[in-house]
Structure 1
């Protein structure tokens, strides 16, 4: 067996292995290369012939159409079926929006300038570059109401939507603020309980819904923030899972600012309470001091005759008895008593009895 023969055999073996490797790569499913596929169906007669995929980098722009977030646009086929596919999404989960609208192309820039589009239908999904998501059309041409997804987080978002929808229905007919607060406590606790075990982006979706300033949920969120650990824990979970993403940094900043503001407001409220309490105590102290002064020894300028009348009043003498003892008229006694009242600032004989003059 020559070296040349061994070399040819080895080369042949390498060639066979190479072809087997190439064939196995060709037969691998598309998802092994990280290809996403998002597809669905709508009524082509209702929508403008295109569907849009946007990446949500600002969770305050979940509900709206924003051109700067748009990453892919596809046309509907004759049956209204659309399909987004490729391999350029993140390998980590992110929030995306799929939407269709009724705006003609020349109207879109004008209608979407502020992000508002009255004639659109959208669904928020959580996905990555390996996911497959199907959005089937339901009865009466309803769309974006359910999903078949390889990503459990998208299914969790649908669960959150159903909880929020059920919560809104329970508010019908409520008038009492106490009843409203109790209902909000109950339902937000359900959302927190559900969201704490899901992908942190699901928790972020819950937070965005409960802190919408245009709803009654926001005031309730502010009142309960310091007693609710869900939001602080969410910041920790987001930082651990998505710390480098802008959307996680956005939440951490916003949560910190709101926590600080509420703490400052609470401190201000306590300071005001302390100030009021201190003022009340000061006034009470002044009152006691005044009474003490009134009942303490005081230096008052009375005439010798008025001092005698003062001493006799303190001995429970009547005006008639004082007149007899001092050998003066009854009217003179009354004049002395009136002068004593005026000088001492009293209005009765009992008050005179409680004072001492030095």
Structure 2
């Protein structure tokens, strides 16, 4: 009776210990004497993703004789963060190609377990949905590399994958950061400004650390400023064009009116033109007769002819038509 009881206690205790570990599994060391006996856990920021060995040290775990290791949940953040496991050689090896670290996304609500295998850090199982999406992204990228595509050709479909398939904001940020490392982010933002502005709104509404996407905010602020300057310049050119058109139309209208006046005046005789000009100066019939040394009746005859030829009824209409103020 005592042995079964101890066995049950052992199982419960083992389960509790396992439940307290967020990270566990095995480091597969072919020659353990060449490696340190500790595994390091570091927290990464997106800006350090491309730099090996960078990150804030979180904890160190001892490697067991069978290669096992584990990290308690207390070392892991409540929300999704980017972490790196790494191990160092005791001494450097020439032409060393062994990858000495592995990156992953995790929160203390999830688990990640590394399996035994041929690689230093072999395949792993995880319950973190963001990490599962990142694995899909890396698998997608790996397949493109396997097809011997150029870096430009490889990046174009990857951009589409990041924007159209991935639903986890952190994974989107990782993909965008990789675009930036290839100096393609500015071009992509310029071509897809609405997408990035919407993404920024999603990020700002999320629980992600603002520092994680600060680089994107700065990038968008700069490009938005450039865009506004272009819009302002275009607006200025449009206003200048409209103003030029108004001036040209006004000039053309004045010119047409002058031509009309000249054509109307041309039908008048020399004496009728003189009488017309004196009328426009405000002279009375008597004043016109005295100035031209003609009779008052002759002045009236000239005025009647002028009104008839110019199609006006009185001095007021003549003035309006001559000055271009007629409606």
TM-score w.r.t. structure 1 length? Answer: 0.53
Q: Give 1:241-280 correspondences, 5 Å limit.
A: 242=208, 248-251=209-212, 253-280=214-241
Cα gap change, 1:134 to 1:169, in 2 (>3 Å): closer
SS in 2 for 1:98: strand
Aligned pair count reads 250
SS in 2 for 1:30: helix
Cα gap change, 1:252 to 1:226, in 2 (>3 Å): same
Which residue is 1:323 aligned to?
none
Q: Distance in 2 between matches of 1:76 and 1:266?
A: 55
Which one of the candidate residues 110, 116, 123 is aligned to 1:146? Answer: 123
Q: Distance in 1 between matches of 2:236 and 2:46?
A: 41
Coordinate RMSD, CA, aligned = 4.5
Q: Distance in 2 between matches of 1:124 and 1:39?
A: 15
Which residue is 2:20 aligned to?
33
CA contact (8 A) 1:134 1:148 kept: yes
Q: Distance in 2 between matches of 1:24 and 1:174?
A: 52
Which residue is 1:134 aligned to?
114
Cα distance, 1:275 vs. partner?
A: 1.2
CA contact (8 A) 2:23 2:111 kept: yes
Asked if 1:201 is matched to 2:184, the reply is no
CA contact (8 A) 2:28 2:120 kept: yes
CA contact (8 A) 1:99 1:120 kept: no
Cα gap change, 1:22 to 1:153, in 2 (>3 Å): same
CA contact (8 A) 1:53 1:70 kept: yes
Deviations 1:234-259 (A, max 9, x none): 415632xx5xxxxx221454444444
Cα gap change, 1:227 to 1:34, in 2 (>3 Å): closer
Q: Distance in 2 between matches of 1:67 and 1:166?
A: 27
Cα distance, 1:64 vs. partner?
A: 1.8
Cα distance, 1:224 vs. partner?
A: 1.1
Q: Distance in 1 between matches of 2:19 and 2:32?
A: 37
Which residue is 1:219 aligned to?
187
Q: Give 1:324-343 correspondences, 5 Å limit.
A: none
Cα distance, 1:165 vs. partner?
A: 3.4
Cα distance, 1:269 vs. partner?
A: 1.4
Q: Distance in 2 between matches of 1:297 and 1:230?
A: 59
Cα distance, 1:283 vs. partner?
A: 3.5
Q: Give 1:6-85 correspondences, 5 Å limit.
A: 26=13, 28-34=15-21, 36-44=23-31, 48-49=35-36, 51-56=39-44, 58-66=45-53, 69-73=56-60, 81=67, 83-85=69-71
Q: Distance in 2 between matches of 1:40 and 1:228?
A: 40
Cα gap change, 1:263 to 1:77, in 2 (>3 Å): same
Deviations 1:245-302 (A, max 9, x none): xxx221454444444433333222111111122223334444445555555539xxxx
Which residue is 1:124 aligned to?
103
Q: Distance in 1 between matches of 2:194 and 2:148?
A: 25
TM-score w.r.t. structure 2 length? Answer: 0.57
SS in 1 for 2:163: helix
Cα gap change, 1:43 to 1:234, in 2 (>3 Å): farther
Which residue is 2:81 aligned to?
94
